[in-house]
Each structure stands twice: as structure tokens, then as C-alpha cells.
Copies of this chain bind each other. A is one copy, B any other.
């Protein structure tokens, strides 16, 4: 890959031109209220693994509309609590997989809640949470970006963002967790969810980590990214050109640029200048909305793998510093 987006100096000051949809805050407030009203107590079941240093629980909590959402809770075996908690969201297409897939935050002394992604997990890392789409929202391109795109009410990401916020709220019900030390974290779609959860619940989250986040400045991204998942939108609009305005009006509700604006906790973002999947202009568009303490790691030579474990180390250092561990 070569560079393809704005230059780094341009990125530093780039702002998205997309206005927040009318009624944006009310839309989310209503959605979360409905989810809370339908919520049941979290369920935890310890599961055996060959990881003798970790205690793993199969978690079921109430997400969108009270629907059950799965997660793994990994806790360092025998650690004296309460512990800080990292709430992790997963990249596009993958589910929660196996407990063994998630060891980094435990190794750094955190409890770790890994939220399954509803409906995802069918084509790379497996998942266990169905996406109950009660309305039968109509044809969409393969994938999730246009699922239910006819309105914000029916869009897939309304349900998933709500799950993410509910995962944060569920922390208070988990044993041995210090709820003053919640970190949201994730990469790509997981980064978008990390931003979304922190933007929806700014009072609950103590630190935000978002690696190469997806769903930023969507209207621009779809004109410069040749890659999937953004190409799902192009596919859908080719098949259904009359739905373009409505589709973008819907997607605006899930552009995390508008949720980044509401974050108050310290935040660490990353972007990669050769990332054609989640273009750097989008990441900076979200980053430049942040008003609290913030840092961004810029990987000049990376694509969407942006930083890999270099960023993991940076994220742990950032979180330790913010949480004063």
C-alpha cells in the first residue's frame, strides 16, 4: 500500500462536515431507557478451561430491548479484588471465540469482559449471540452495515451500540470489579463500540481505548475506501439507488464522530496512514471531536492491522497511567 488519504498535517486538523442528526440525543436516550427497562439480572457460569491462571465465566447480560447477550469474563485466578475492568468489543465479523483468545488485560492485572457481537461470529472467530431482528427489516448487503438501514430504529447498529452501553452498565453487577476503573477498548468495529459506549455513558467510563476505529465519518469513508465493510454500503446502494438518502440519514446515527464529542474520559486512539479499511481521515475526524485528555498513535507504515501489539502495550500503559495503577 501507498499513502492514499490526507497528509498527516491535514489530518491533524481535519473535521467531518456531517452534522449530528436531529433528535440524536433523544434517540439514544430513549433506546437506552427501553433496554434498561427490559433488563434482567446478569447470569454468570464458571467454565472450565486449561488456563489454570484464569477463572472464566460465561456471562449472559441484557442488551438491546432486554435481549440476552453473551460475554466472557476472565479474572486472574486468586487475585484480590476489586479489580479494574477492561470491557472489550470485537472487530467486524468475529464473535467472542474462546476464552483463550483474550489474555492481554488479565496478564496486566485486570478483570476482562469480552462482549460477544450479536449475529457476528459466522465467518472467522465464532460467536454465540443471535441478532434478533424482530421487524424483518428487509434485504441488505451481506454483512451488517445495511441491515435494517431503512431507519435508525431498525438498524443493526442501534442494537449493537446498545449492547455495548449495556455491557458497561453490567459491570456494576459483576463480582470483584472496581466500577470506578472501567476501560472500554477494542479495535476497528471494537474501537467504534469503545467510543460509542463511552459516548453513550460518559459518566461511567474512566478511560477509552480505540484502535483504528471503524464507523467514523461514514459519508466520506464510503467514497475513498475500496475495501469492505464500507463497500457493503456501495453494494447496497447499487442494488437500491433510490434508498441512498434514507440510508445515509440512518447511518448518521451510528457515525461515532457524533458520540466521540460526548466523551469526557481520557482517550487513546490509533490510526494507520495506509489503512484503507478505516481511513485515517475518519479516525482523526472522531479524534478531533474529543474535548478531554487525549492521545493518538499514528502508525505511518501500517494498514488496518495498525500497530498490532505495539498498540496493545501502549494501551496498557495508557490505562495504567489514567487509572493510576
Q: How far is the CB of A137 from chain B (nearest CB, A)?
A: 6
B237 touches A301 (CB 8 A): yes
A301 touches B238 (CB 8 A): yes
A295 contacts the other chain (CB 8 A): no
B139 touches A121 (CB 8 A): yes
B104 touches A226 (CB 8 A): no
Binds B, one of A17-25, A50-58, A193-201, A250-258: A50-58
Contact with B along A137-150 (1 / 0, CB 8 A): 11111110010000
Q: Which residues of B contact A232 (CB under 8 A)?
A: 123
A235 touches B51 (CB 8 A): no
A103 touches B107 (CB 8 A): yes
Binds B, one of A37-45, A210-218, A261-269, A313-321: A313-321
Q: Which residues of B contact A137 (CB under 8 A)?
A: 130
Among A126-142, those with CB < 8 Å from B are 126-142
For this chain, the copies found in one complex come to 6
A141 touches B128 (CB 8 A): no
Question: Chain A binding site: helix, strand, loop or mixed by DSSP?
Answer: loop
In angstroms, Cα B235 to Cα A120, docked, is 12
A3 touches B224 (CB 8 A): yes
A289 contacts the other chain (CB 8 A): no
Contact of A127 among B95, B133, B135, B139 (CB under 8 A): B139
Binds B, one of A161-169, A239-247, A280-288: A239-247
A53 touches B301 (CB 8 A): no
B98 touches A313 (CB 8 A): yes
In angstroms, Cα B320 to Cα A134, docked, is 43
The chain B residue with its CB closest to the CB of A225 is B2
A100 touches B313 (CB 8 A): yes
In angstroms, Cα B226 to Cα A124, docked, is 17
The chain B residue with its CB closest to the CB of A97 is B309
Q: Which residues of B contact A310 (CB under 8 A)?
A: 98, 241
Q: Which residues of B contact A146 (CB under 8 A)?
A: 122
Q: Which residues of B contact A225 (CB under 8 A)?
A: 2
A234 contacts the other chain (CB 8 A): yes
**Known: A100-B104, A309-B97, A309-B98. Contact between A142 and B130, CB under 8 A?**
no
A119 contacts the other chain (CB 8 A): yes
In angstroms, Cα B141 to Cα A235, docked, is 18
In angstroms, Cα B97 to Cα A274, docked, is 21
**Known: A122-B139, A141-B122. Contact between A51 and B108, CB under 8 A?**
yes
Q: Which residues of B contact A54 (CB under 8 A)?
A: 107
Q: Which residues of B contact A316 (CB under 8 A)?
A: 50-51, 100
B109 touches A52 (CB 8 A): yes
Jot down 10 A-B pairs with beta carbons below 8 A, ordered by A.
Answer: A2-B223, A52-B109, A53-B53, A100-B312, A120-B139, A122-B235, A123-B238, A124-B239, A127-B138, A133-B133
Chain A: residues with CB nearer than 8 A to chain B? Answer: 1-3, 49-54, 67, 76, 93, 95, 97-98, 100-101, 103-104, 106-109, 119-143, 146, 223-226, 232, 234-241, 244, 274, 299-302, 305, 307, 309-310, 312-313, 316-317, 320, 325
